[in-house]
Amino acid sequence: MGKYLAVRLADSIPTVWLVLTLVFIAMRILPGDPAIAALGDMALPEQLAEFREKMGLNVSLWQQYLNFLGGVLVFDFGKSYMNGAAVVDLIARNLPYTIELTLVATLMGFTAGVPLGVLAATKRDRLPDTGVRVFSLIGYAIPDFYLGALLLIVFALNLGWFPINGAGEGFVDRMYHIFLPALTLAFVKAAFIGRLTRTSLLEVLGKDYIRTARAKGAREPRVIYRHGLRNALLPLSTGMGLSLLATLSGSVAIELVFNRPGIGRLLISAITERDYGVIQGGVVVFALLVVAINLLMDLLYIVIDPRIRVQ
Amino acid sequence: MSLNRREFLELSAAAAALGLSGPSVARAQSADDVIRIGIAANGPRTSDPNQTTQGSDNWATEQMYEQLVRPEDGDFATTPDKYVPTLATEWTTSDDAKTWNFKLRPGVQFHKGYGEMTADDVVFTYKKAIDDGTNKTIMSNVADVVAKGPLDVEITLKSPDVNLLGTTIFSNNTCIVSKKAYEELGAEKFMTDAVGTGPYELTRFDPEWGSAMKRHDGYWGEKAKIGAVECVYIADTTARTLALLSGNVDMIEAVRAPGWVDSMLQRDSSLQFDMTVPGSFNTLHINLTRKPFDNLKVRQAVMYAIDRQAVADALKPMGGFMAGLQPDFFPAGFKTEALPSELQYKYDPEKAKALLAEAGFPGGLDFDSNCSQREDYSSTMLIVQEQLRAVGLRMNLIIGDHTAYHADNRSDKNTLAMHSSSYPPIPTQLYFQQLSSKSEVKADGKGGGNYSHYGAAMPGIDDLLAKALMATDYKTYEDTCKEIELQVLRDLPLIGLSTLSFTVARNGKVNLGYPVKSGYARWRFHRATKSA
What would the pLDDT profile of B438-449 be if each residue is shown by its tens digit? 999 999 988 999
The percentage of chain A sitting over the pLDDT mark of 90, rounded to a whole number, equals 23
Whether the pLDDT of residue B110 is over 90: the answer is yes
Q: Quick check: B73 pLDDT over 60?
A: yes
Chain A CB contacts of B232 under 8 Å are 165-166
pLDDT at position B272 over 90: yes
How does pLDDT run across A89-133, given as a tens digit for each residue?
Answer: 999 999 999 999 999 999 999 899 999 998 998 888 889 889 989
The answer to whether the Cα torsion of B153, B154, B158, B164 is positive or negative is: positive
Q: Is a pLDDT exceeding 70 seen at residue B18?
A: no
pLDDT at A10: 84
**Cross-chain Cβ contact A30/B410 below 8 Å:** no
Q: Which residues contact B524 (CB under 8 A, 6 or more apart)?
A: B62, B63, B73, B198, B199
Percent of chain B with pLDDT over 90: 81
Range with lowest mean pLDDT among A135-144, A215-224, B5-14, B462-471:
B5-14
Residue B496 in this model has a pLDDT that exceeds 80: yes
Q: Has residue B213 got a pLDDT over 60? A: yes
HSE-CB for B99 with a 13 A CA cutoff: 6
Q: Return the domain boundaries, chain B.
A: 5-60+202-275+502-530, 69-180, 280-500
Is there a contact between B76 and B518 (Cβ–Cβ < 8 Å)? yes
For the CA atoms of A37, A41, A46, A50, the dihedral, rounded to the nearest 10 degrees, stands at: -10
Collect all residues with Cβ–Cβ distance below 8 Å to A233 and sequence separation of at least 6: A304
Closest chain A residue to B413, measured at CA: A31
| Cα–Cα distance for residue pair A151/A181, rounded to 1 Å | 9
The reply to whether residue A160 touches residue B53, judged by beta carbons under 8 angstroms, is no
Nearest chain A alpha carbon to B48? A83
Question: B482 or A143: whose pLDDT is higher?
Answer: B482
Residue whose C-alpha is closest to residue B264's, from B528, B452, B508, B522: B508
For residues B278-299, one letter each, b for 16 or more C-beta atoms within 10 angstroms of the residue's C-beta and e for the rest, the string is bbbbbbbbbbbbbeebebebbb
Set of chain B residues whose Cβ sits within 8 Å of the Cβ of A266:
208
A186-200 per-position pLDDT tens digit: 998 899 889 989 998
The answer to whether the Cβ–Cβ distance between B245 and A157 falls below 8 Å is yes
- pLDDT tens for B350-376 read 999 999 999 999 999 999 999 999 888
* Residues comprising chain A, all counted: 311
Residue B365's pLDDT is what? 96
Q: Please tell me the least confidently modeled range out of A280-284, A307-311, B334-338.
A: A307-311
Number of neighbouring beta carbons within 10 Å of residue B387: 21
Cβ <8 Å between B191 and A47: no
Q: What phi and psi values does residue B211 have, to the nearest 5 degrees?
A: -125, 145
Contact A175 B19 (CB under 8 A): yes
**Least confident window among B3-17, B40-54, B448-462, B504-518:** B3-17
> Is B43–A269 a contact, with Cβ atoms under 8 angstroms apart?
yes
Identify the pLDDT of residue A309: 63
CATH number of B280-500: 3.10.105.10
Residue of B nearest to A157 (CA): B246
Please report the residues numbered 432 through 461 in chain B whose beta carbons come closer than 8 angstroms to any beta carbon of chain A.
433, 445-449
**Of the given ranges (A249-258, B160-169, B218-227, B377-386), which has the lowest mean pLDDT?**
A249-258
Residues A161, B243: C-beta atoms closer than 8 Å: no
Written in H, E and C, the secondary structure of B247-268 is CCCCEEECCCCCCHHHHHHHHC
Say which residue, A235 or A126, is predicted with more confidence. A126
Determine the average pLDDT of the residues in B182-194: 91
pTM of the full structure = 0.84
- Window B:9-28, CB contacts with A under 8 Å: 18-20, 22-23
Q: How far is CA A197 from CA A24, A191, A194, A308, in A?
A: 40, 10, 5, 21
pLDDT at position B8? 42
How far away is chain B from the Cα of A226, in angstroms, using its nearest Cα?
A: 26
Q: Write the CB contacts of A7 (distance below 8 Å, at least 6 apart in sequence).
A: none
pLDDT band at B265 (very low <50, low <70, confident <90, very high): very high
Contact list in B for residue A263 (CB cut-off 8 A) is none
Measured CA distances, B73 to A77, A228, B86, B281, B507 (Å): 43, 73, 12, 21, 19
Contact A33 B403 (CB under 8 A): yes
**B158/chain A closest Cα distance in angstroms:** 19
User: Alpha helix (H) ranges present in B117-206?
Assistant: 119-132, 164, 179-185, 187-190
* Residue B22 reports pLDDT greater than 70: no
H or E segment and range at residue B317: none
B 85-144 → A contacts, CB under 8 A:
134, 136-137
CB A77 within 8 A of CB A275: no
> Where do runs of H (alpha helix) occur along B163-287?
164, 179-185, 187-190, 237-245, 260-267
B5-60+202-275+502-530 belongs to which CATH class?
Answer: alpha beta
CA angle A154, A155, A158 (to 5 degrees): 55
- Our measurement of the distance from residue B78's CA atom to the centroid of its chain's CA atoms, rounded to an integer in Å, reads 15
Mean pLDDT within A40-56: 83
Higher pLDDT, B3 or A19: A19
Does the pLDDT value for residue B333 go beyond 60? yes
Candidates A94, A165, A261; nearest CB to B239: A165
pLDDT of residue B1 exceeding 60 = no
Instruction: Return the residue in B211, B370, B410, B423 with the most chain A beta carbons within 10 A, the one to mutate for interface testing.
Output: B410
CATH of A87-272, one of 3.40.50.300, 1.10.10.10, 3.30.1490.20, 1.10.3720.10: 1.10.3720.10
- Mean pLDDT in residue range A169-179: 91
Q: Where are the domains of chain A?
A: 87-272
Percent of chain A with pLDDT over 70: 98
**Is residue A84 very low, low, confident or very high in pLDDT (cuts 50, 70, 90)?**
confident
Q: For residues B477 and B461, what is the distance between their CA atoms, to the nearest angstrom? A: 14
Residue type (1 letter), B272: Q
CB pairs under 8 A between A and B: 134
Nearest CB partner across the interface for A257, out of B236, B403, B408: B236
B69-180: which CATH topology? Dipeptide-binding Protein; domain 1 (3.90.76)
Q: Report whether pLDDT(A215) > 60.
A: yes
- The secondary structure of residue B422, as a DSSP letter, is E
Q: Residue B529 burial by CB count (10 A; 0-12/13-18/19+): exposed, middle or buried?
A: middle
Contacts of A268 in chain B (CB under 8 A): 42
The C-alpha atoms of residue B201 and residue B181 are separated, in whole angstroms, by: 13
pLDDT tier at B286, thresholds 50, 70, 90:
very high
B407 contacts A33? CB cut-off 8 A: yes
Q: Between A41 and B399, whose confidence is greater?
A: B399
pLDDT at residue B7 greater than cutoff 70: no
Tell me which residue in A33, A84, A175 faces B191 most closely, judged by beta carbons. A84
Residue of A nearest to B51 (CA): A83
- Identify the residue among B47, B173, B192, B238 best suited for mutation to test binding to A, counting A beta carbons within 10 A and taking the highest: B238
In chain B, which among 390-419 make CB contacts under 8 A with chain A? 400-404, 406-410, 419
Asked if B23 contacts A176 with a C-beta cutoff of 8 angstroms, the reply is yes
Distance from CA of A40 to the nearest CA of B (A): 7
Query: Do B177 and B49 meet the contact criterion of CB atoms below 8 Å apart?
Result: yes
- Rounded to an integer, the average pLDDT of B162-166 is 94
> B409-443 b/e with 16+ CB inside 10 Å = b?
bbbbbbbbbbbbbbbbbbbbbbbbbbbbbbbbbee
Q: What is the rounded average pLDDT for all residues in chain B? A: 91
In this prediction, residue B3 carries a pLDDT of 44
Indicate the residue of B243, B407, B419 with minimum beta-carbon distance to A165: B243
Q: Residue B451's closest chain A neighbor by CA?
A: A42
| B residues 52..91 contacting A (CB < 8 A) | 53-54
